[in-house]
Amino acid sequence: MSAAAKRKPAAKRSAKKKDLVFGLGSTGLSIARYLARNDINAIYVDSRDEPPGLAELEGICPDAKVVVGEIPEKLLKQASRVIASPGISDSDSFLKAARNSGVEIVSDIEMFVAEAQAPFVAVTGSNGKSTVTTLLSLMCEAAGKTGLAGANLGVPALDLLLEEVPDYYLLELSSFQLQRTKNLPAKVAVLLNISADHLDWHVSEEEYRSAKYRIFDQAEAAVFNRADEEISEHLPQNVLSLSFALDAPEDGEYGLIEDEGDIFLARGEQLLLSCADIALVGKHNQANCLAALATGQLIGLELSPMLQVLNEFPGLPHRMQTVGQHGGVRFINDSKATNVGAAIASVDSVTGAVVLIAGGQGKGGDFDRLATSTCGQLRAVVLIGEDAPVLEEAFADLTPTMRADNMMIAVRQAAEVAQSGDTVLLAPACASFDQYANYQARGEDFAGAVGALLL
């Protein structure tokens, strides 16, 4: 059992000072439910005038003090600690004031770790973490184990504690959550990859990478991508570790082996499963499968049920999801490709020419890298959203570009320029919040536009 399972519940806070929960939404409400279950009073604040979940919060803790809109710094005098939602940047003025006042800032993950009564696997990476976390949950189920998945994926971490204690908790963790979590004694820590992302939240790529590396600090075992040499340099000494990558593996490693014209997932020299028999699409998903297999080995799952899952699981919505075909052109929704690295991987995983639909809020991404890495495969790029002008400049003289005011127009323009055998790919390389509530809404809009095209 991991160190997390041995911890006792946290002591209740001082009666004179209260927890201050900063940020509502799904994480903030899960914190409210946790505090209410433990009879802990708190102050709830949100800088938005009408934050989501306000009515639900009143039902959870009707007597709590709630402040929305402008947040007075004098509230910090009443705070024993600030529990901050992950989307709120450390550069936020209220959090800066908290640090200057010596008030501790923690994450919901820190609170989860103090309460969890089963070992947990922690999964992070710039891309692929939702897929790998879901694969692990399905592999546990196929192997007769219970693996509850959540945190940055689906169910907030503290809400997982409402369920019967599983064999394993499977936590997808963002760089935001990792940066604010001091105690993370994972049974297995998984770092899939790192490419520049969330530079609108982190002050630098170095800080972003450092947050990701924190996942290893207290782990019993680690799974890492050996293709990134810097990752291996941050593994703690004397920690059991398994590596994966898309090259031929050494003994005990996971990778790919070509045999008689076929490519196989492999462990050392052992051929495990032909890539042609994997339901997931793309080279990046081959890497995700290898990472899941390595992690499953470390938590004691049998090989056969894990391979069965890889043969059957088609992937999560909005991740390389085929949503239609028209005139010999395939339309793929990869709205979850919200950074440059993910968009490059999306294009690379497609066979044939691509008409790319990209754009939104760039998060400080390197669009020049996107353009130079993909231009050889692109027939054209249709640009949407706030950072369309910046993307257009990056693709100038490399790939034909056009602008679209909305997704319906973008899909129609892409369909007009695409030729039979091409793929129209939504891989925005950007966040969606300039036009949509989230990446899911953007992907659904794309699928709807494709559906209208097929009528």
Please give the pLDDT value at position 440: 94
From the candidates 129, 202, 212, 234, give the one annotated as an active-site residue.
129
Q: Which long-range contacts (CB under 8 A, 24 or more apart) does 335-338 make?
A: 335/426, 335/428, 335/432, 335/439, 335/440, 335/442, 335/443, 335/446, 336/130, 336/439, 336/443, 337/127, 337/427, 337/428, 337/429, 338/197, 338/363, 338/428, 338/429, 338/430, 338/431, 338/432, 338/439
From the candidates 18, 127, 145, 152, give the one annotated as an active-site residue.
152
- The band of 227, judged by pLDDT with boundaries at 50, 70 and 90, is very high
Alpha-carbon gap, residue 197 to 374, rounded angstroms:
18
Q: Is the pLDDT of residue 448 over 80?
A: yes
Burial (CB count within 10 angstroms: exposed 0-12, middle 13-18, buried 19+), residue 84: buried
Q: Is the pLDDT of residue 413 over 50?
A: yes
Please give the pLDDT value at position 206: 82
* Average confidence (pLDDT) over 401-411: 98
- The band of 349, judged by pLDDT with boundaries at 50, 70 and 90, is confident
From the candidates 18, 187, 198, 234, give the one annotated as an active-site residue.
198
Residue bearing tokens 């064999």? 167
Tell me the fold of 321-454: Protein-Tyrosine Phosphatase; Chain A (3.90.190)
- Percent of the chain scored above 70 by pLDDT? 95
Please give the pLDDT value at position 341: 87
198 given a catalytic annotation: yes
Please give the pLDDT value at position 199: 54
List the chain domain ranges: 16-106, 111-312, 321-454
283 given a catalytic annotation: no
Please give the pLDDT value at position 9: 46
Tell me the fold of 16-106: Rossmann fold (3.40.50)
Please give the pLDDT value at position 315: 85
311 given a catalytic annotation: no
Give 305-346 pLDDT, tens digit per residue. Answer: 999 999 999 888 888 888 999 899 999 999 999 989 889 989
Q: Is the pLDDT of residue 3 over 60?
A: no
Q: Strands (DSSP E) along 87-163, which ranges? A: 104-106, 120-124, 147-151
Q: What residues pair up with 429 in beta bridges, in sequence order? A: none
Whole-model pTM: value is: 0.82
* Residue of 159, 189, 135 whose CA lies nearest to 181: 189
Alpha-carbon gap, residue 141 to 149, rounded angstroms:
11
* Average confidence (pLDDT) over 382-405: 97
Tokens of 170: 């499977």
Determine the 3-state secondary structure of 71 from DSSP: coil
The top-level CATH class assigned to 111-312 is: alpha beta
